[in-house]
Amino acid sequence: MDAERVEMQIAALLDQADVEHARVREAISELRAAGVVLQQGVTGAARTAVTDAFAGLQRDIVRARGAMRWFSYRWIVIVGVSLVGLFALGGGLAWALVALQRHQVAELIERKTALEADIAEMMVNQAALAKKGARIKIDNCGGRPCIEVSPNQSENLTDWKGPWNNSTTGKSYVIPKGY
């Protein structure tokens, strides 16, 4: 009896072990199914997150390219306007310098014309004096031009002394009108 009883108990334990084994297999199957579902969910969520991140990155790249394009156009405009401004400033300075030089050249032409007229008048006077036999000597009397004069001014005035007399040479001088 004891052996039968032990055998029954062992058989009952084996049946119970089979039931438990079936339950463990079923639990493992359920865990596998849950794992597969969980894996699919995680994979899908990761795929969605990566896809969203990639799409956001693409939008950021497009936005950055647009900003760089806007920035480069702005710099092209700034550089262009600056160059135009510099050329205008250079042209204005060149024009101002040319205008100043024109003014100076006009003044020099006026002076030259006046000097040429003075020279022509002096040449006419010198030619007229030379025709009359005049040989005037011009000297300096106190910083003003003066002419040496003869002491014989007329029949009655033969020893005339001018207002300017050189005590060493004894010569008399007069300052002509206009000097």
Return the percentage of the chain with pLDDT > 90, whole number. Answer: 23
Q: Indicate if the pLDDT at residue 169 is higher than 80.
A: no
Q: Indicate if the pLDDT at residue 15 is higher than 90.
A: no
Classify the C-alpha dihedral 28-32-38-42 as positive or negative.
Answer: positive
Secondary structure of residue 174 in the 3-state scheme: strand
Phi, psi values for residue 135, rounded to 5°: -130, 85
Secondary structure of residue 147 in the 3-state scheme: strand
Secondary structure of residue 15 in the 3-state scheme: helix
Q: Give the mean pLDDT of 54-69.
A: 88
Phi, psi values for residue 71, rounded to 5°: -65, -45
Rounded to 5°, the CA angle 31-36-41 comes to: 120
Task: Say which residue, 165 or 112, is predicted with more confidence.
Answer: 112
User: Measuring CA to CA, how many Å separate 138 from each of 131, 135, 141?
Assistant: 19, 10, 10
Q: Give the mean pLDDT of 61-76.
A: 85
Structure tokens at 61: 């790249």
**Predicted pLDDT of residue 55:** 92
Structure tokens at 131: 């025709």
